[in-house]
Amino acid sequence: MQWMDLSQYLPISLILIIFIILGFDHFCFTSLISPTNFQQGTTEIGLFRSAINCTLIVIAPLILILPITLPAELIVHYLLGYGCAALLAISLISPILHYNRSPSICYYIKLRFNQSFLYLLVCVLNIIFLIIFTVILLIMTVSLITTRISFLSPYKICTILGYTSIFAIAFGGQTSVSSNVFFASICLAMLAASYIIFDNLTNYIYNFVEIILSHDYLSFDSWTAFYLGILNGLHFLITSPLLYQQYFSLSSCRRLRESLAIHVGLFSLLTSVMLVSSNLFANKINWFCQVNSFAMFNVSHEDISLEIENGLFPSLINAVLSLVASFAIILTELTLINLIWEDLLRPLLIRRSLQQQIGSIQVGLLIIGSIIIALSNAWLYLDKPLKYGPISLLILGTLTAPMTALYTCSYLFPFLNGKGATTGLLTGIFGTLVLFYLYFRVTPLRFHHFPLQCFNETSITHSLIWADCKFAYFELDFASTTLQAIANKAQKLLPILCEIPITWYPLTTFIITTLSMLLVSLCTCSSNTDEFDWKLIICAPYVGIFTRHTDNTISNDKHVAFVECESFRYAQQTPYPDTVTTVTHMIQ
């Protein structure tokens, strides 16, 4: 069998080999004494490795989905928006993140508002969002792999990939993603990507400079990409448990800021290089119009030999992107089970032995992983990625916008109270559901992200942003009489919402949630500041401007930093603490 015949197995082979080695390594040589070791690892994770893990989480959906929706010049504006959110997180919000003493970022809501219902609601919503995010990554990774191995069943690949990712972290937890095997695999993927991308460095720099100088920075599309970068940055950096899980174990606020800065730099570099490089994405990524599988690449035929064109070059690109996406799946599954344990299972199992607690975490990981695999297989069976894959991240961003508004307002506004936060969050969720109902049920199904000619002669003649579009494909051009009647009524009752393009749904729900929170809080606020912990908001150094109780509120540390509680620092000093006794006071 020739090399060209074997190259198609390269992506799935690399993933399975690395995951199996990782799982057996920790099964044989890692001893988990307590859930703390599973959550925070048995060795200290460096800030550079923490930044790389965060970058893998954020860049994985971009390289799978967003390149097909955003032209290269709009990626620059997306990165600028992400950088603005990073400045806010690094300069002002990182001390609050470091001050939170729990491995779960949801615990901040409990400290901030002291309301069990809001705390539980935030936990459940985060779990749902993480499950959806993991399902999206798994489906797109399977679709990416099947582009090279079309004769294998995607259901088998999905099942194998899902359970091997669970096996890779079941016996090591956070230690798995900070181990040398995992880090070496990441470096291998980055070196391969660097070789592919910088093969034609001169043309890449020329095209990048041309994009910077020629694009209209005041266009509607540019502002849309810019605000999406800000909202996504705020969600990942200060709201989502995904990144918080990776830098919780850092021992100081300075190291946390350095890790965030390195993450933003790596993310910007890799995103701009991978999405703007003419050698890698010469003719854009196009998989929306494929019937059987997603054709991820349309590589330019210039300066590429016949041998590389037929097998080596696409397989190498496919292997690198599949490896990056599969690493992100591991990180999301680890974050998901840690969130479930910390916020839901731990209060119920805190009195049991440490081995029973670890066993419950591993069993929970198997159960939640099986649910994710089942949902992914069902989605593949229904062939939904063909229709909803391109806008899946946009839908998820709209769903998470109310949560982003909750955390952002909690950090910024001292007068925000529990009533306002709960009311605003529920209002934002309801507004999100209304917008999606108007988009999917009231109006004919519209996809307006692909201004390219497709393989089945489906033409989409419209701009990237505007929702008014027409399709030549007959299945997307019908609406029943009932739906049309509902659409006419809805357009009379909600004319503004019906005209909002789907790319502005995240901003709409963010604004609705923010205004609801602030208005309700202003109407129900109280002047009692003695029970408020001012270190939970960003204006802690300037509290004297807003209150006369400066000395009492700031000097009285009602809470201690997480490095003094049951954290990674504490775990290394004891060296493995008895979590049954050390965290009892935290859950009372």
Integer CA distances (angstroms), 441 to 263, 479, 485, 506, 586, in order: 40, 10, 11, 19, 46
Nearest C-alpha neighbor of 451 from the set 466, 431, 430: 466
CA 10 → CA 14, 73, 151, 252, 410, distances in Å? Answer: 6, 32, 15, 41, 47
Q: Are the beta carbons of 339 and 129 closer than 8 angstroms?
A: no
pLDDT band, residue 231 (cuts 50/70/90): very high
Judged by average pLDDT, the poorest of 211-215, 396-400, 443-447 is 443-447
Q: Is the peptide bond before 347 cis (omega within 30 degrees of 0)?
A: no
What's the Cα-to-Cα distance from 58 to each of 123, 194, 397, 398, rounded to whole Å?
21, 19, 13, 17
| 157 compared with 212, residue with greater pLDDT | 157
Q: Give the number of other CB atoms < 10 A from CB of residue 161.
A: 24
The overall average pLDDT reported for the chain is 72
- Using pLDDT thresholds of 50, 70 and 90, give the confidence band for residue 71: low
> For residues 325 and 137, is the Cβ–Cβ distance under 8 A?
yes
Mean pLDDT of 150-179: 87
Higher pLDDT: 270 or 203? It is: 270
Q: According to the model, what pLDDT value does residue 469 have?
A: 36
Choose the weakest-confidence range: 8-17, 207-216, 421-430: 207-216
Instruction: Tell me which residue of 415, 409, 416 sits closest to 547, measured CA to CA.
Output: 415
Q: So what's the pLDDT on residue 455?
A: 32
Inform me whether the pLDDT recorded for 475 exceeds 80.
no
Closest to 320 (Cα-Cα) out of 18, 1, 523? 18
Instruction: Of 82-91, 386-395, 423-432, 476-485, give the lowest mean pLDDT range.
Output: 476-485
Question: How many CA atoms within 13 Å lie on the side-chain side of 340?
Answer: 23
Quick one: tokens of 127? 């779990």
pLDDT tens-digit map of 530-559: 567 778 888 654 444 444 444 444 344 444
CATH H-level, domain 3-25+44-390: superfamily: Sodium/glucose cotransporter (1.20.1730.10)
Return the number of other C-beta atoms located less than 10 Å from residue 29's C-beta: 11
pLDDT digits (tens, 9 = 90+) for 171-224: 988 888 887 777 777 777 766 666 655 555 555 556 556 655 655 556 667 788
Burial of residue 505 (CB within 10 Å: 0-12, 13-18, 19+) is: buried
Read off the DSSP letter of residue 384: -
> Residue 354: its pLDDT value, please?
86
Which residues contact residue 519 at a Cβ distance below 8 angstroms, ignoring those fewer than 6 apart? 420
Please name which of 393, 433, 344, 359 lies closest in space to residue 139, comparing C-alpha atoms. 393
- For the segment 8-14, the average pLDDT, to the nearest whole number, is 76
Is residue 290 pLDDT above 50, yes or no? no
Q: From CA 19, how far away is CA 167, in angstroms rounded?
A: 7
pLDDT of residue 72: 60
Q: Is 253 in contact with 98 (CB distance < 8 Å)?
A: yes
Tally of CB atoms within 10 A around 437: 14
| pLDDT interval class at 28 (50, 70, 90) | confident
pLDDT-derived band of residue 33, with 50, 70 and 90 as boundaries? confident
Give the pLDDT of residue 551. 42
pLDDT of residue 209: 61
Task: Evaluate whether 42 touches 220 at the Cβ level (below 8 Å).
Answer: no
**450 confidence band (pLDDT: 50, 70, 90):** very low
Average pLDDT over residues 302-321: 56
Flag whether pLDDT at 562 surpasses 80: no
pLDDT digits (tens, 9 = 90+) for 476-522: 333 444 445 555 555 555 666 666 777 888 999 999 999 999 999 99
User: Tell me, what's the pLDDT at 49?
Assistant: 86
Question: How much is the pLDDT for 99?
Answer: 82
pLDDT of residue 251: 75
User: What whole-number distance in Å separates Cα of residue 345 and Cα of residue 521?
Assistant: 32
Q: Using the Cα atoms of residue 419, residue 425, residue 426 and residue 430 in order, give the sign of their dihedral.
A: positive
Report the C-alpha gap between 450 and 68 in whole angstroms. 7
Return the higher-pLDDT residue of 114 and 76.
114
User: The pTM is what?
Assistant: 0.79
| 3-state SS assignment for residue 471 | strand
At 566 the pLDDT is 42
Cis, bond preceding 71 (omega within 30 deg of 0):
no
Tell me whether residue 389 is exposed, middle or buried, using C-beta atoms within 10 angstroms of its C-beta: 0 to 12, 13 to 18, 19 or more: buried
Per-residue pLDDT for 135 more than 80? yes
Separation between Cα atoms, residue 15 and residue 139, nearest integer Å:
15
Q: Number of helices (H) and strands (E), helices first, in the chain?
A: 29, 0
